[in-house]
């Protein structure tokens, strides 16, 4: 009947009854199924359902399953950036990714921690919080193997370009295979990242060409020169 919200309500009620009857696995399966059912209709509700599922798995100390569901929630929150004007979505995604990273660190899956750090930094930079992005990288130095990894080097280069308002450097990093072959939603964040100030690297002024008969450059000429390379 395509009454998806009503169906989800019934599944949530069923999952509570499964928990009360001591069958958390079935409860988690029901919640995850509800999330998949509603994801294309109400992604915000799907985020909530995936987080609920992760909590069930975490309470059962099944961390690998929990972190998988948290990953789904994080990616959906990232998608919501493109359709939502609410800044808190960025904050919520950053927190969700941090929780993922904590679990991966606990189960000693360090390479995935590096990837989650990249995702975190991209989220922080999209919310124009350079300080949080830099702190995220600095705190990740405590993860075994991160310092000296290609992930760490790329993030340091990304932060340097962002801080120097060098769009070329930022774009080069975000177009590298390390970033492009991440989960699709995070790869999109990288490709759409623009540094403050329009993202145009400041260049040293070139020597102006002499005008015939001592004619000086007009305002129109200057405007044409300024945008001669195009806006992008």
Residue 195 pLDDT > 70 = yes
Q: Please compute the mean of the pLDDT values over residues 212-232 and round it to a whole number.
A: 42
What was the pLDDT predicted at 84? Answer: 46
The answer to whether 186 and 96 are in contact (CB under 8 A) is no
The per-residue pLDDT for 205 is 43
pLDDT of residue 106: 93
Contact 94, 132 (CB under 8 A): yes
Q: Look up the pTM and report it.
A: 0.75
What is the percentage of the chain residues whose pLDDT exceeds 90? Answer: 65
User: Tell me: the pLDDT tens digits for 13-43?
Assistant: 999 999 999 999 999 999 999 999 999 889 8
Q: Single out the residue of 200, 123, 113, 118 nearest to residue 161, CA to CA.
A: 200
| Mean local confidence (pLDDT), 179-200 | 84
Give the pLDDT confidence of 44-73 residue by residue, as tens digits. Answer: 899 999 999 999 999 999 999 999 999 999
- Whether the pLDDT of residue 144 is over 80: the answer is yes
Q: What are phi and psi of 85, to 5 degrees?
A: -95, 5
Kindly indicate the confidence band of residue 82, based on its pLDDT and cuts at 50, 70 and 90: low
Q: Is the pLDDT assigned to residue 215 strictly greater than 60?
A: no
Place of tokens 């995850």: 32
Q: CA–CA separation, 170 vs 188, rounded Å? A: 14
Residue by residue, DSSP assigns 99-160 as HHHHHHHHTT-HHHHHHHHHHHHHHHHHTT-HHHHHHHHHHHTTSTTTTTSHHHHHHHHHHH
Model pLDDT for residues 85-126, shown as the tens digit of each residue:
444 577 888 899 999 999 999 999 999 999 999 999 999 999
According to the 3-state scheme, what is the secondary structure of 66-106? HHHHHHHHHHHHHHHCCCCCCCHHHHHHHHHHHHHHHHHHH
- Residue 205, token pair as written in the block: 């002024």
Q: Which of 82, 84, 163, 166 is nearest to 121 (CA)?
A: 163
Q: What mean pLDDT value characterizes the chain?
A: 84
Nearest Cα neighbor of 65 from 57, 77, 56, 73 is 57
What pLDDT shows up at residue 214?
47
Instruction: Please tell me the distance from the alpha carbon of residue 191 to that of residue 175, in angstroms, as a whole number.
Output: 7
Question: Using an 8 Å Cβ cutoff, are 110 and 129 in contact?
Answer: no
Segment 123-136 mean pLDDT: 93
């Amino acid at each position: 009947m395509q009454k998806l919200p009503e169906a989800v309500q019934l599944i949530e009620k069923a999952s509570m009854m499964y928990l009360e009857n001591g069958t958390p696995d079935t409860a988690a399966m029901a919640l995850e199924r509800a999330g998949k059912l509603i994801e294309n209709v109400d992604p915000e509700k799907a985020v909530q359902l995936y987080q609920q599922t992760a909590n069930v798995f975490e309470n059962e100390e099944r961390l690998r399953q929990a972190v998988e569901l948290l990953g789904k929630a994080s990616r959906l929150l990232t998608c919501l950036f493109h359709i939502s004007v609410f800044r808190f979505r960025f904050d919520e995604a950053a927190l969700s990714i941090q929780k993922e990273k904590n679990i991966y660190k606990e189960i000693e899956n360090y390479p995935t921690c590096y990837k989650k750090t990249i995702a975190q930094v991209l989220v922080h930079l999209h919310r124009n919080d350079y300080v949080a992005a830099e702190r995220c990288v600095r705190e990740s130095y405590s993860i075994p193997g991160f310092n000296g990894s290609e992930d760490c080097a790329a993030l340091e280069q990304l932060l340097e370009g962002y801080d120097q308002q060098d769009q070329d450097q930022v774009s080069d990093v975000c177009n590298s295979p390390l970033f492009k072959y991440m989960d699709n939603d995070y790869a999109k964040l990288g490709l759409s990242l623009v540094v403050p100030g329009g993202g145009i690297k400041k260049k040293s002024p070139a020597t102006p060409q002499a005008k015939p008969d001592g004619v000086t450059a007009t305002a129109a000429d200057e405007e044409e020169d300024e945008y001669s390379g195009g806006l992008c």
